[in-house]
Structure 1
Amino acid sequence: MLLYRVRRLLASLFIQADKTTVFVSVLVYVAGSYLLLSAAGESEIIAPDNFLYWLVVTASTVGYGDFSPATPAGKMVVAAWVIPLGLSLFALVITRVGFAVSEFVHRGKRGLRMTNHVNHTVIIGWNGTRTLRLIELLLSKTNGAAAEIVLCVEADIENPMPGRIDFVRVESFSHIESMQRAGLADAARIIIDNPLDDVTLTTALFCDKYSPNSHKTAYFQDENVGELLRAHCPNIECIPSVAVELLAKSSLDPGSARLHRQLLDSTYGMTQYSVEYFGEEPLPVAALFDHFKRDLSATLIAVRRKGVVTIAVNPALTDQVGKGDMLYYISAKRLDEKHCFDITINEGEGVGTCLPN
């Protein structure tokens, strides 16, 4: 009974102890076992090649029997010190490790763990099935090599897609210590989608300050709020609700809503993508249009000039594409940048093959 109470007391102290105390306890046990066995004359057990192996096997009660104490004093040391303390320490260390692993996993599910991604995508806000659909679209194979995704929410939920995305739960979207866990400063893309436009506005302003180099996109139900943000942060792409426009368009041109949904859906069929031109020499739209259709089975539909917000849909074949211009095309999957501009200019339009730098 006394031994049982002692073991319970030691177990309680051990579980509450910090890492340093645990390490010192194990070190004292190992050193004490070595010194006691050495004093007992157990030279074979304390040999450098045997001691740690024998101690772990004995403390864990596996007991292979290839080494055992040969002297009466050695047997007493094993019975009174090595096995009782070793069994307790071994069980408690394994339990503590198990608790640590469980806590680590649980902290990840609850969004309390620090992420360490670079050039990743951060989604800020939670809208239930709409957010899940957004993640599925971003992870679609047709998008090419998808970057890691970190979902950042205020809602009291756990990671909705464990194993596929990282998850961070914060006190506020403008709380710098909490938002740092999402790796905001190192993100390549930030998507802000909250049910409330005022939260989206303040979050976008916060992200513009602490992640100036990322591409930021914000969704607004009220287009006026989006215009207000654009006036202060012109580099943030504001996405307004187009439900009314699609309703009117579909009534005049039946099937328009399904067409637009198809162009935005990267999980199946033809989808709209974009690619930026980094080459030094300007390229004619006519040559690019023909290259996209004949060689890549894609359709060039629009061009956005560098530094210009508006997009030229259905550009003239006589137009030129310069460095920094963005091309938009329809294809079954995202095309490799090199293939998009690997064209040979026909005679009369210039000579040579134009490749991006």
Structure 2
Amino acid sequence: MPVIQRIYSKFYEHLVELRLWVLFSLIGAYLLISWLLFVWAGETDLVSDPVVFLYFASTTASTVGYGDLSPATEAGRLISALWFVPGALLIFTAVLSKLTSSLVQGIRRMVDGRGNFKSLTGATVIIGYHRDRTERMITDLIAGRDNDTKIVLLATSADITVPEGVRYVRGDRLDTLETLKRAAVEHAEKIIVYTESDAETFNTCLAIRELSGNVHVAAYFGDRDTARRATKLAHVEAVVSSATETLVRAAQDPGASRVIMALSSATHNATIYSGVLEGARGYLAAEVEQQFLSVNAVLLAVSQNGADDVSFKPFPRDLKGGTTVYYVAQQRLEPETWSRLMEKLDAAVLA
């Protein structure tokens, strides 16, 4: 008896929740019983062809009732009135309820940050939330025209404003692997980490590296020593506050702070972008400058031996292949424009 009672309780639970297997079983049983009843009633026009019978059942269930099919016998009409039509309406209502419930639950999960974006590839992930700054970062990402159309925001707070088009993931902690996976970190294109504390940012950077060893990570730190350790151990691009230096520049050269802020944001007329001089050949810095000017861009700095080795004008005479160049332009150079620029540089080398 206890076994039967447990089975009954489990079945009743699944029936109340209208599990998919229960729903399909009810539909199958209803169609089979209806078909047998119509066969018994002699409704050959309705049951001779399975497609015709399914068509009749669907039009009846949806209350459309085209009128091209209907029972011809008295028994068939009674079966239709007492069994087929009420059953069809009940099942149709149950299916609609299940679909609506699933849709509402899915939307609610997304709104509450309980969505799962593990399969999302090429996303830009922002980890951490600051009410004003995060929204500004998202605006800059979109304005940068770097194909940042898939943005995922990971935060611990439920009281946040999620900009339109941004996917939201909420977790109890930001440095747990499962939460990071849900936020599409494993297959992300770039990641920005800006949490409430340096310790949380540091741990999050280490966790990211467990999931992806190649993704570019930019992380903000308030402490320079922590930033240095994160750069060395987690291989991230650590960003520290330059407010002190900017304040000094503004005092010594009025207006310098506005220029620095303008160059740091893609929402202004121009900002800083980067690219890599592909190929194994070397290039003359003067020729590179000239080619950038030809596409309305200004070469600002170059890096030949890593992120810490940045050279400003006067540039080294020769720039080897693989050099990272930083330029100022109104927008990022389109791939076609960049390809033409590289072709001209290669042609100049061969000449």
How far apart are the structure 1 equivalents of 2:349 and 2:178? Answer: 55
Rounded to whole Å, the distance in 2 between the matches of 1:203 and 1:272 is: 27
Shift of 1:171: 2.1
Q: What secondary structure, in the 3-state scheme, does the structure 2 residue paired with 1:138 have?
A: helix
Q: Which runs of 5+ in 1 are unaligned?
A: 1-10, 353-357
2:17 alignment partner in structure 1? 16
Which residue number corresponds to residue 135 of structure 1? 138
CA distance in 2, matches of 1:315, 1:168: 46
Q: Quote the Cα distance in structure 1 between the aligned partners of 2:37 and 2:159.
A: 54
1:333 to 307, 331, 334: 331
Alpha-carbon offset, residue 339 of structure 1:
3.3
Distance 1:292-1:22 versus aligned 2 partners, 3 A rule: same
CA distance in 2 between partners of 1:102 and 1:345 (Å):
57
Contact 1:280/1:322 (<8 A) preserved: yes
Structure with the bigger percentage of helix: 2
Paired AA for residue 153 in structure 1: A
Q: 2:263 corresponds to which residue?
A: 263
Tell me the TM-score normalized by structure 1: 0.88
Contact 1:301 1:315 in 2 (8 A): no
* Aligned-CA RMSD value: 2.2
Cα distance, 1:112 vs. partner? Answer: 1.3
**Deviation at residue 63 of structure 1 after TM alignment:** 2.2
The 5-angstrom pairing of residues 57-206 of structure 1 reads: 57-115=59-117, 116-140=119-143, 142-157=144-159, 160-162=162-164, 164-206=165-207
Where does 1:250-289 land on structure 2 (aligned, <5 Å)?
250-289=250-289
Match of 1:127, as an amino acid? H
Instruction: Give the equivalent residue in structure 1 for 2:313.
Output: 314
Quick one: distance in 1 between partners of 2:213 and 2:120? 17
Q: Measure, in 2, the Cα distance between the counterparts of 1:197 and 1:278.
A: 36
Question: Matched residue of 1:302: which SS?
Answer: strand
Give the alignment's TM-score, normalised by structure 2: 0.89
What is the percentage of aligned positions where both structures have the same residue? 28
The whole-number CA distance in structure 1 between the counterparts of 2:247 and 2:172 is 38
Cα contact 2:280–2:322 (8 A) shared by 1: no
Q: How many residues in Structure 1 have an aligned counterpart in Structure 2?
A: 336
8 A Cα contact 2:125 2:152, kept in partner? yes
Measure the CA separation in 1 of the matches of 2:13 and 2:76: 29
Contact in 1 for aligned 2:18/2:98 (Cα 8 Å): no
Closer/same/farther in 2, CA of residues 278 and 77 from structure 1, 3 Å limit: same
The Cα of 1:345 is off from its aligned counterpart by 7.0
